[in-house]
């Protein structure tokens, strides 16, 4: 099965950090889609609503030394983004 049609169009991969590990994910996509890119089976069949209602995709993002909680389904990936915490439902 070709999964490329589930991602927003992208030309390159950007580097982000997830709990101290550097990973490459497609630009121009939500964090939840990027997690799906990294682990297609666990995220595709996880308990996610994909619209922000369930809150199962909460992550903690650190920028400028400050952390904040965001919903991965509603947050676009940014190069060098640092994700320090993942909701227990996100299995990478």
CA distances from 17 to 60, 68, 79 (A): 12, 15, 9
Q: What does the pLDDT look like over 7-44, one tens digit per residue?
A: 999 999 999 999 999 999 999 999 999 999 999 999 99
Q: Do the domain assignments include residue 70?
A: yes
Task: Kindly state whether residue 91 falls inside one of the protein's structural domains.
Answer: no
Asked whether residue 77 is assigned to any structural domain, the reply reads yes
Range of the domain at 82: 4-86
Looking at the structure of the chain, the number of domains it has is 1
CA distances from 3 to 17, 22, 45 (A): 23, 23, 14
- CATH number for the domain including 34? 3.10.20.30
92 lies in some domain: no
Q: What is the pLDDT of residue 63?
A: 81
């Amino acid at each position: 099965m070709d999964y490329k049609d589930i991602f927003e169009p992208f030309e390159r991969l950007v580097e982000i950090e997830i709990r101290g590990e550097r990973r490459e994910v497609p630009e121009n996509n939500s964090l939840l889609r990027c997690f799906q890119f990294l682990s297609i089976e666990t995220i595709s069949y996880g308990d996610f609503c994909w619209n922000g209602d369930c809150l199962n995709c909460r992550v903690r993002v650190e920028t400028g030394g400050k952390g904040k909680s965001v919903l991965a389904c509603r947050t676009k990936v940014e190069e060098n983004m640092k994700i320090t915490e993942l909701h227990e439902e996100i299995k990478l």
